[in-house]
Amino acid sequence: MHALVTGATGLIGNHVVQKLLAKGATVKALVRPTSSVGILPPDSELVYGDILEEESLKNAAKDCDIIFHAAGAFAYWGYDNKTFIDEAKKGMENVIIAAAHNNIKRVVFTSSSVTIGSSEKAEVLNESSAGSFEDLPAYVTAKIQQEQIAFSLGEKYGIGAIAICPTLTIGGPDIHLTESNRMMVNYIKDLYKSTWIGGCNIVSADDVADAMLLLADKGKPGERYIAGSDNLEWKDVHAGISRLCGLPGPYLTAMRTSSYLFSAMHELWYYVSKERPTSTREQAKMVGKYYWYSSQKLAALGYQPMSSEDAMVKALSWLVTSGHISPSIRATIHLNDKIYQYRNSHQTM
Amino acid sequence: MSEPSVTICTGKEKDTNSLLQQTLEQAKLWSAIESKRKTSKLSKRNFKILIKPDLNFYDLTASTGISTQLVEHLISLLGAKGYTNIIIADGEQSSGTWLENRDLLVLADLAGYTYQTKEGVAYSIESLGEHLADADFDNTSVLKDEQLSSHWLNANFRIVFAKNKTDEEFYYSLCLKSLIDILPQKAKQYHYYFRMRPEEVAAALSERNEVDFCIIDAFESNHGMLGARHIKKILTNTFIAGDNILLVDWIAALKMELDPYCSSINSYSLKKTGLPLKYKINGDLTIYENWQNVPKLLAESTQSRNRNPAIRQLANAWLQQVDTDIFPFKNVADAQINKFLSPITKNIDTHPLAYSALVALNYTLGGIQQFIEGWQTVFDKEKIYRQNTELGFDVNEFSPPDFEAIENYILPLAQLVAFTLPDANGIKWRYIDGSVLFEYSRTLPYDYKFFISKVDIAQAVQYMFDNIGGARIPVKTNDKEQVIYQAERDIYLPQPNWMVVFGGKPIDVCKIEIIRHNPANQSILWRTVKSLNQSAEFDDGLVSFSAKQKGITEIKIVARQKFALPLFWQVFNMDYLPAMKDALVSDSYLSFFTRTIANFEAACEGRNPRLGKTPDPEWGENGIVNHPLEAEQFKNLFAAFSGLAEKFMKKQNVFLKNNSLQKDEDGYVHFEGEENKESSPGVIVKSFITDVTQAIQKDVKYITGIK
């Protein structure tokens, strides 16, 4: 397999590169000249370019037989909504055009489980569910429109575009801290150890990368596949983080109103401190919803993710060693034996 | 060698030049120069004499700096004696970060220096911010990594020529404070008054004994509450001169009717180095008539205010009396605020309201800073600045037997506490002479060899939780280049942290240490030899790393501690409530040591576990002007409010009548386009209200279960 991986220094892209190399594939890692490439394996071939530049993408995809498109921002702050959506669409369009230009017949791209929608009650959604799309953040709109472009252009150019829809993806290394890892960091930093109502599904970046390779082999063009693991209430997620880090809590449970008001205050404070708000109003609007999904469709192809707790063990093992957690916060953490066992079995240090 | 002396010459009937000449003769400047020249074996023509004048004036008529005429007269006198290799040198000024025309050469031009005296003696003017060279400061010094200008280093004779003036923060500003100006960095207020402690900086410079002669121009002094800022001349008809900088300042302060120890800068050096054992005072020690000093309340409030580097910088820019025709402000906002505040503070000596207002403002700003520091100490330690200090004691006073004796002191204590039963928190502890002796240990699932390869035992004390700075000096190494004797100074946040609410001060302790390296065990044992701020009576102990079964390392901490309590807790004596005291002690130590162990673990994970942020050592050096760090946040806040106000006024068509309806060259009148509706304040507020209403409705449904 000759693969091009976009977003190769991102959380999922980096894992895809590693998995491909482990399988003996030749890998071109598309990176921007300004990217930190230190996290990439030394045997990956770096190609410099940008998904927003069509020509650079065409050149990068030369001699490849598949593209794994993992580039794209996952953020709830710091972007102009229109630019955010336009860039996601343009990037996807360029990837399909580059594939067509190089006669590549298969593109596996990362979408998100949020494109399925959410539910106001604790119910599990699948790829064909009609979830709620109330209060869509720009990120969700971008992902929905990205899917539409991929499938329509894929059909037009005869390219098998397959969408993987990961749930809340955690793990490391994660240079710019995606929102999912930020959720864990924010909880660890939170003095009040607050949780909130609603639920989510947590999956390891490692499993998402495995799933992308699986879809490259067995995925059906024009289809989307949810890649998740366990469905959890937020209070259980936060209790799990507390347990694994030897921290107390969670103490407080935030409702929608308090979340929204506090997020508004955080956003206001940004104009003084210039530090990214701990939470945003867009995120606050997601409080109380259930982002619970089934991965049965992918499981039918052989997908076997680790449990959400194991995903948290793996992610926290890396996060506590990273600069995303300050020394004073690290000093409050008393790691659970599960993290040591993970480190010893994987020799991660 | 003759004993140090100081000469005071007073003469109402004389002019400045002749009184200066008389002072220098009585103070034996000429024999001092000649003696040094002979030792150097240089000719008079090649013997390089450096004069460092006080150039802190912001108005050409000001008496806050040395007059050009006096400096040139000194040069003429030197020239008349045959010394013609003369330079005037000074460092670049902090004020250059907020005022124009403060570069040394421009400043000298404006002051009227002509590079040749009326008597024809030529001299040069050099910036001590240039031609930097290694200065070989002692490795225990706060300036150990700093350079000095080769103009200073290569001079054969150095004269500090200071103005006689008061100072709102340090009570007086004389030769020793002026000496700080020779350091190279431009943003001196930031680097040498905040990033480093000014008293340690001044001491490190004076200890080099490079200043050969000091002169204080007290002919026309500047006194009053803001003597370093506002022009308040007073004829005191005096010159003070001598060869010992501390002695000269001592006499000058006494003549101001001050306790020379009131300045923290001079006090530190006086206590550390001391006056010469034997010295001579020649002249009149009568205090100046009608001299006005800085009230204690103003000085203390200024010290409180100036703890924040941003406020220090802003206060300098906003309160300084400036002739803006000569020294325009770089920032319009600074100029406007200075124009408003400076005239008010100018009348501070005669206007009780202005004085009270400044003191109140200082204390308010100081109080805010104290609140921020308290908040950061308890909740946001990463925002606290790390402290860069000197070692704080002379390690040469301790011989190898002193280091070896630490073991004899600590090990029996460790044995004693080992036999104590652990409390509910798993800590073994007991009281000894009012101090707490405790032991805490934990095993970590890391191979011992791996662990010690990652965690340097020599840094173990600095890895203790809440360590916020200090200095560490290896004293002796073994044949494997491992440190075995070490000296260090550690500064910790107040313990427990909440003591900060009661005015608890940082723990500042100087220690000698011995390190043992054995195949299956490493340990560091320490004894406190000094606490510069009297914050600790005992802080002694040991940290050991030991190999246990395969893949397991044990960390053990034994310590004996007794810290000074804030006044409140001295009065509210917890000894009468033993159960409560025991609970607090146990909880505090549990928290402190679990976090310390986590720091060791973080070091093992490859992280730097040190708390706090390091002040930028380059700030102000690369063309950056304006204010540091937090000051930018004030500006952002100001910009945010003014932006909102502007939008509001536009909405109300406040500007329409005056500015917006301008005709262009073709006669068309242009209106501003309609504002983007999504980002207009009205839409934002409306959507906010809608969102909150929806959130409340959903929460009510969620709580009541109504569908």
Q: What is the pLDDT of residues B462-517, one digit of tens each?
A: 999 999 999 999 999 999 999 999 999 999 999 888 888 888 889 999 999 999 99
pLDDT at A3: 96
Angle CA B172–B74–B87, to nearest 5 = 90
**Closest CA–CA distance from residue A314 to any residue of chain B (Å):** 15
**What mean pLDDT comes out for the span B645-661?**
50
Q: Is the model's pLDDT at B60 over the cut of 50?
A: yes
Using an 8 Å CB-CB cutoff, list residues of chain B that contact chain A: 379, 381-382, 445, 465, 551, 594-596, 598-599, 601-602, 604-611, 633, 636-637, 640, 688, 691-692, 695-696, 698-699, 702-703
The pLDDT mean for chain B works out to 89
At B648, the pLDDT band (50, 70, 90 cuts) reads low
Q: Is A321 on the interface with B (CB under 8 A)?
A: yes
Best of B552, B590, B607, B632 to mutate (most A CBs within 10 Å, chain A):
B607
**Closest CA–CA distance from residue B686 to any residue of chain A (Å):** 14
Q: Give A332's contacts in chain B (Cβ within 8 Å).
A: 595, 598
Distance in angstroms (rounded) separating the CA atoms of residues A303 and A165: 13
Q: Is the model's pLDDT at A221 over the cut of 50?
A: yes
Q: Is the model's pLDDT at B677 over the cut of 80?
A: no
Q: Is the model's pLDDT at B623 over the cut of 70?
A: no
The fraction of chain B above a pLDDT of 70, given in percent, is 91
- Picking from A260, A340, A349, the nearest residue to B692 by CB comes out as A260
Q: Give B551's contacts in chain A (Cβ within 8 Å).
A: 344
Q: Is the model's pLDDT at B129 over the cut of 60?
A: yes
At B644, the pLDDT band (50, 70, 90 cuts) reads low
Number of DSSP helices (H) and strands (E) in chain A, helices first: 13, 12
**Closest CA–CA distance from residue A334 to any residue of chain B (Å):** 7
The pLDDT mean for chain A works out to 92
**Which positions 7-36 of A are in contact with B (Cβ < 8 Å)?**
none
The fraction of chain B above a pLDDT of 90, given in percent, is 69
A160-177 burial, b at 16+ Cβ within 10 Å, e below that, comes to: bbbbbbbbbbbbbbbbeb
- Picking from B381, B640, B692, the nearest residue to A271 by CB comes out as B640
Upper half-sphere CA count for residue B586 (Cβ side, 13 Å): 15
Name the closest residue on chain B to residue A333, using Cα atoms.
B598
pLDDT at B661: 44
Q: Is the model's pLDDT at B640 over the cut of 70?
A: no
Q: Is the model's pLDDT at A249 over the cut of 70?
A: yes
Count of CB contacts below 8 A, A vs B? 85
**What mean pLDDT comes out for the span B696-701?**
90
- Interchain CB distance below 8 Å, A349 and B605: yes
**Closest CA–CA distance from residue A265 to any residue of chain B (Å):** 12
Q: Is the model's pLDDT at B641 over the cut of 70?
A: no
DSSP, collapsed to helix, strand or coil, labels residue A284 as helix
- Picking from A256, A272, A288, the nearest residue to B640 by CB comes out as A272
- Picking from B606, B609, B691, the nearest residue to A281 by CB comes out as B691
Q: Is the model's pLDDT at A165 over the cut of 80?
A: yes
- Interchain CB distance below 8 Å, B598 and A197: no
At B657, the pLDDT band (50, 70, 90 cuts) reads very low
Name the closest residue on chain A to residue B605, using Cα atoms.
A321
Name the closest residue on chain B to residue A257, using Cα atoms.
B695
pLDDT at B647: 60
The ipTM estimated for the assembled molecules is 0.82
Q: Is the model's pLDDT at B609 over the cut of 50?
A: yes
**Closest CA–CA distance from residue B526 to any residue of chain A (Å):** 23
Q: Is the model's pLDDT at A17 over the cut of 90?
A: yes
Distance in angstroms (rounded) separating the CA atoms of residues B223 and B252: 13
**What mean pLDDT comes out for the span B221-225?**
95
Both tokens of B685, joined, read 């507020």
pLDDT at B572: 73
**What mean pLDDT comes out for the span B436-446?**
93
- Interchain CB distance below 8 Å, B699 and A260: no
pLDDT at A36: 82
Q: Which residues contact B326 (CB under 8 A, 6 or more apart)?
A: B59, B60, B101, B110
Best of B694, B697, B703 to mutate (most A CBs within 10 Å, chain A):
B694
pLDDT at B656: 42
pLDDT at B414: 96
Q: Is the model's pLDDT at B665 over the cut of 70?
A: no
Cβ-defined contacts of B572-579 (< 8 Å, 24+): none
Distance in angstroms (rounded) separating the CA atoms of residues B23 and B159: 14
Q: Which of A38, A84, A31, A85 is nearest to A60 (CA)?
A: A31
Q: Is the model's pLDDT at A275 over the cut of 90?
A: no
At B654, the pLDDT band (50, 70, 90 cuts) reads very low
